[in-house]
Structures are given as C-alpha cells and as structure tokens.
Amino acid sequence: MKIGVTGSNGFIGKHLIAALKDRKNVKLSYFDLPEYNLLNLDSVKNFVVGKDVIVHAAAVNRGSNLDIVAGSVVAAYNLISAIKKSGRKTKLIFLSSIQAETDTIYGLSKKLTEIMLQDFSREYQTPITIFRLTNVFGEGCRPFYNSVIATLSYQIANNKKLTISDINKKINFIYVKDVVSIILREVFARRKQHFYFKKVASNNTITVKNLSYLIKSLRELKYPKKLKSKFHKDLYNTYCEQKIKN
C-alpha cells in the first residue's frame, strides 16, 4: 500500500510516521515544507500519483488571515483537484479540528474545508474521511503552539510564571498516540460509503484551573508507576518531556 502524509514534520505527522514506517507492505511518501508546498498544484499532482491513501495532517494556524485560509482551503482544494486528475480513487483522510465549531478564522477555514471535501466526495464518489479532532497533546507537543498542556507543563516544570486565561473553561483532551491509532484503523479500513465524518474526543474533560493543579502535582511525584489513570500517565509523559527541554 502506498501512503502519503502531508505535514509529516508536524506534531501528529511525526507520531503517524513513527507508527507506519516499520509496517510491511507499506511505502511511505512525505510532503512537507520547505521542500514541498501544498499551494503549488504541480507539486501536489506529483505527490498524489499512485497513492492509495493520503493522510492530510498539514495545517497553518499562525500568520495572516490569508495564510491561514490558504493553508486549509487552498491546500485541500489542490489535493482533491490532483486526486481527480489522477483518475485514481485515492482515499483522503483529513485531520480537521474542534476549532471548526468556533468563529475564529482558523475555525472557519477548517469548517469550509470540511464542507468542500464532503461535496467533492459525494459528487465524484471519492473516499474521503474527516476526523474533527479535539485538543491533542503528548510527546513532541510544542508549548505556546500545539496545546495548553504543553504550555502549562513547560511553565511548571521550569518554574516559569503561569499564563492562564479563562481558567474555568472546560476542555476535552486526547492523547496523540490514541489519535494515531484511530487514523491507522481508518487507513486500512474498507468502507461501503464514500464519505465518513467523525468527531474524535475522549473522556478527559477538565478545566484549565484543575489542569494546572494536576500538572503541578506531577512535579512532586516520586512514584510515577503508581499512576492508575491513563490520562495521568499520558500527562506525566508530556510533562517530563517539557522538563527535559529546559
């Protein structure tokens, strides 16, 4: 099976590549900046050729409004245009975001991309899966960029001043390796319907305030093996990595 991954150098992309690289009968191709650009249609056409599955994990969540919209909508449009021109029913798995339920520019760009992909799938009978991901955390997560968990872990582990806003906001978190397991199942799944949409969340919902208390408690933890909750163990692994970065 020939599998292509966009955003292979990103947070989720790196974990996905690590899970796929040693699998037998799988040939991986990567598409990421600075060598490749999803806004270049000719480059995207070359990438798409011969692929059985493409996992679209690339995203732009920083920059001007134009950068953010182009990084989502135009990038996805180029991918489906290239798939259409290839004449092959390549499965496209798009990693969307829970931010699609907000009115931010990033969220609106994700929502528009979801609608565009659904219309394309139905019109051309092309297999497309959309995973609308909740807040993903784990090893490799960048503080002040990918997740509030990484940010708080970095600040607490390195005795930095906490920068917390909206402390009573409840957030659902999911561990990156659990997300990768869901993606992998979909990569090899055979569905009767061409279009599939799923919100990907977990049972880990917590306020930002309580999250900060929980991470602080990890700083004093002497016996991590005694942690019983999977969420606590995953949180501890993330915290330890941020401590090492100092």
Write the CATH number for 107: 3.40.50.720
pLDDT at 167: 83
pLDDT at 244: 63
Q: Give the total number of structural domains in the chain.
A: 1
> How many CB atoms neighbour CB 140 within 10 A?
17
- Start-to-end Cα distance in the chain: 41
3-state SS class at 130: strand
Q: What is the CA radius of gyration of the chain?
A: 19
Residue 133 near residue 96, CB atoms below 8 Å: yes
CA proximity to 195, closest of 99, 98, 89, 97: 89
- Dist CA 9 CA 59 (whole Å): 11
> The pTM is what?
0.94
Residue 219 near residue 128, CB atoms below 8 Å: no
Residue 130 near residue 118, CB atoms below 8 Å: yes
Full pLDDT tens readout for the chain, 246 residues: 999 999 999 999 999 999 999 898 999 999 998 888 999 999 999 999 999 999 999 998 888 999 999 999 999 999 999 999 999 999 999 999 999 999 999 999 999 999 999 999 999 999 999 999 999 999 998 888 878 999 999 999 888 888 777 888 899 999 999 999 999 999 999 999 999 999 999 999 999 999 999 999 988 888 888 888 999 999 999 998 887 655
Residue 171 near residue 205, CB atoms below 8 Å: yes
- Dist CA 159 CA 161 (whole Å): 7
- Dist CA 240 CA 219 (whole Å): 9
* Domain carrying residue 123: 2-245
> How many CB atoms neighbour CB 246 within 10 A?
9
Tokens of 235: 């949180």
Torsion angle defined by CA atoms of residues 232, 238, 244 and 246, in that order, rounded to the nearest 10 degrees: -110
Which ranges of 59-104 does DSSP label H, i.e. alpha helix?
65-69, 75-86
